[in-house]
Amino acid sequence: MRKSEFTRAIVDEFGEGYGRVLTRDVVLPTLGNVSADEAIARGAEPRDVWLALCEAQDVPVARRHGVGLPKPRA
C-alpha cells in the first residue's frame, strides 16, 4: 500500500474530516503508542498503519483489505 492509497482508504472508510482526526489523535498500541501520522512519519509501512488503525477502530475485517486502490479506468 502506498501513502496515497492509505490516504484514499482513510477517506473512503472514515470521511475526510474525521479521517484526519483519527490519523492525528488515535494512539496505536501495536505501533509503539503513536498516532498513524507519527507512525508514517517515522517510516512505518502505510499498510501496517492502516491495519492498526482499523483494529483500533473496530473496522470489520471485510473492509480492511483491498481498499485504497484507485477505481479501474473504463
pLDDT for residue 66 = 67
pTM of the predicted model as reported, rounded to 2 decimal places: 0.86
pLDDT band for 63, please (50, 70, 90 cuts): confident
Number of other CB atoms surrounding residue 8 within 10 Å: 17
Domain range enclosing 42: 3-63
- Does residue 69 fall inside a structural domain? no
pLDDT tens for 2-13 read: 999 999 999 999
- Does residue 27 fall inside a structural domain? yes
Which residues, other chains included, contact 14 with Cβ-Cβ below 8 Å and sequence gap of 6+? 22, 57
pLDDT tens for 10-60 read: 999 999 999 999 999 999 999 999 999 999 999 999 999 999 999 999 999
pLDDT for residue 67 = 72
- Does residue 37 fall inside a structural domain? yes
How many domains does the structure of the chain reveal?
1
- Does residue 70 fall inside a structural domain? no
